[in-house]
Amino acid sequence: MAALRMKEKYGSEVVPALQAEFTYKSPMAIPKIVAVKLNMGMGAAIANSRLLDSAVEELAQIAGQKPIITKARTSIANFKLREGVPIGCAVTLRGTRMWEFIDRLITVSLPRVRDFRGVSPNLDGRGNYTLGVREHAIFPEIDYTKLDQLKGMNITFITTATTDKEGFQLLKLLGMPFRI
């Protein structure tokens, strides 16, 4: 239901507003969200592999699908890190799960952040947006009493927008609470 609500909002409100503001020649040129990528980096997993197992389990609860385990690309002696050692997990959401996650993030999770004043309005230069979350416990799927450690995560919105202005407007019209 929630996924349908956000996708319906995109089709009925966001597309006409973007068309009016940017005057696209083709309806296919109107920016849309292609995927949402969730990423948890667990540097502490080098010493304690149980942390990575709990991160994978919790990210699966948040996303609704099983994440992949990411491994170190290079060795860094100062961090006691060797190439190929598991240090995080990531999941890419598309389609119905993506729209459902966006809806839960905007309407439920972000308002649960303590002293919330909005998210940073900075995009990456190509219309994509990355949001850093300090505590993954803001998601209602996570049982706060069973947590061994609070974990941070990055949430990246991958769009077809060609400029930051288009990407910003797309996310703003969907309801992303940017601080201005």
49-54: list long-range contacts, CB under 8 Å, 24+ apart.
49/86, 50/148, 51/148, 51/149, 52/86, 52/87, 52/88, 52/89, 54/148, 54/149
Higher pLDDT, 36 or 53: 36
Residues in the chain: 180
CA distances from 53 to 38, 144, 153 (A): 16, 17, 15
Looking at CATH, the fold of the domain delimited by 2-174 is given as: 50s Ribosomal Protein L5; Chain: A, (3.30.1440)
- What does DSSP say about strands 68-71 and 33-41: parallel, antiparallel, or unpaired? unpaired
pLDDT band at 32 (very low <50, low <70, confident <90, very high): very high
Q: What pTM was computed for the model? A: 0.86
DSSP code at position 17: H
**pLDDT per residue as tens digits for the range 68-102:** 888 776 666 666 656 767 778 899 999 999 999 99
- Candidates 134, 102, 96, 91; CA nearest to 115 is 134
CA pseudo-torsion sign 46, 47, 50, 55: negative
**CA atoms of 146 and 144, how far apart (whole Å):** 6
User: What value does the mean pLDDT of the chain take?
Assistant: 84
pLDDT value at position 77?
Answer: 67
Q: Facing residues of 119 across strands?
A: 178
* Domain residue spans of the chain: 2-174
∠ CA 6-10-12, nearest 5°, is 110
**pLDDT per residue as tens digits for the range 107-153:** 888 888 877 888 888 888 888 999 988 877 788 787 776 777 778 88
pLDDT value at position 58?
Answer: 85
**pLDDT per residue as tens digits for the range 45-75:** 565 667 778 788 888 988 889 998 887 766 6
Q: Facing residues of 178 across strands?
A: 119
pLDDT value at position 44?
Answer: 60
pLDDT value at position 96?
Answer: 92
